[in-house]
Amino acid sequence: MTKGELYDLKYTLSDFIYPRLKEFKEKVDSKNAPSIPDFSNVENFSNQTSFAEKEKYWSEILSKMIIPFEYHVDPEKFKHLEFEEINEKVELGLKLFAEYFVNLWF
């Protein structure tokens, strides 16, 4: 490990997490995910909510989760956004990443 990797760890971690989280989402979107989170605490979901609806919701969550890591890997993609909007998206994505961390498996 180099000193530079620790200097601003969010970049080192983002370089590792971003491509893997993006590929994970691609697997979900291509219906190659054998499971998804329970989502029993999601408003408007019931035991009648279909697996397809839950898959779509999971994909949307993953999209939001990807944003903070993508931002730290390639901030140029976000230059069209205001600083406050970027911060809101990063904060939400990190919150979701923490909330669903244990669900990132196949």
Terminal C-alpha separation, the chain: 29
Residue the block writes with tokens 């997490």 = 17
* Nearest of 26, 21, 28 to residue 51 by alpha carbon: 28
pLDDT at position 17: 98
Residue 92, token pair as written in the block: 């939400």
- Global pTM reads 0.92
Report, as an integer, the average pLDDT of 26-53: 88
pLDDT of residue 6: 77
Structural domain boundaries enclosing 91: 3-103
In the chain, the number of structural domains is 1
Please state, rounded to an integer, the average pLDDT across all residues of the chain: 93
